[in-house]
Amino acid sequence: MSKVRLDPAAEQAIDWMVRLRAGTADSRLQERFTLWLNADPSHALAWERLQQRLGGAYQTVRSLDRRLPGQAGEARQVLLQPQGSRRDVLRAMAGLGLLGGGLWLGARSPLGDSLLADLHAGRGQRQDFTLADGSRLSLNADSAVDLRFDARQRLVILRHGELVIQVAPDPQRPLRVRTAQGEVQALGTRFLVNQEAAASRVVVLEHSVRVQLFGGAERTLQQGQAALLYPDRIAPLNDDQRYRADWLSGRLNVLDDSLDHVVEALRPYSRGFVRVAPEVRNLRVQGVFPLNDPDRALLAMTETLPIRVDHYGPWLTLIRGK
For the stretch 77-126, pLDDT in tens is 444 444 455 555 555 555 444 444 444 334 444 544 555 678 888 888 99
- DSSP characters for 251-271? EEEEEEEEHHHHHHHHGGGSS
Out of 3.90.180.10, 3.30.70.120, 3.55.50.30, 3.40.50.2300, which CATH number does the structure's domain 250-321 have? 3.55.50.30
Q: What is the pLDDT of residue 306?
A: 96
CATH number of this structure's domain 119-243:
2.60.120.1440
Listed in order, the ranges of the chain carrying CATH 3.55.50.30 are 250-321
Between these two residues, 287 and 37, which has the higher pLDDT value?
A: 287
Q: Using CA atoms, how far apart are residues 181 and 165, in angstroms rounded to an integer?
A: 19
Please answer whether residues 89 and 17 qualify as being in contact, where contact means their C-beta atoms are separated by less than 8 angstroms.
Answer: yes
* b/e burial code for range 89-109 (CB count within 10 A of at least 16 → b): bbbbbbbbbbbeeebbebbee
Q: Using CA atoms, how far apart are residues 95 and 79, in angstroms rounded to an integer?
A: 11
What is the amino acid identity at position 60?
Answer: T
Q: 204-213 long-range CB contacts below 8 Å, 24 or more apart?
A: 205/164, 205/242, 205/245, 209/184, 209/185, 210/184, 210/185, 211/182, 211/183, 211/184, 211/185, 212/182, 212/183, 212/185, 213/181, 213/182
Q: What is the pLDDT of residue 18?
A: 60
Listed in order, the ranges of the chain carrying CATH 2.60.120.1440 are 119-243
Please answer whether residues 144 and 120 qualify as being in contact, where contact means their C-beta atoms are separated by less than 8 angstroms.
Answer: yes
Q: What is the pLDDT of residue 56?
A: 42
Chain mean pLDDT for the chain: 80
Q: What is the pLDDT of residue 314?
A: 76
* H helical segments located in 26-182: 27-39, 41-55, 57-67, 71-80, 86-95, 101-107, 110-116
Pairing of strands 175-178, 154-166: parallel
Instruction: Please give the average per-residue pLDDT across 260-288, as a whole number.
Output: 93
With a cut of 70, say whether residue 210 has pLDDT above it: yes
User: How do residues 52-74 score in pLDDT, each as one tens digit?
Assistant: 555 444 344 444 444 444 444 44
Q: What is the pLDDT of residue 93?
A: 53
User: How do residues 211-244 score in pLDDT, each as one tens digit?
Assistant: 999 988 999 999 999 999 999 999 999 989 999 9
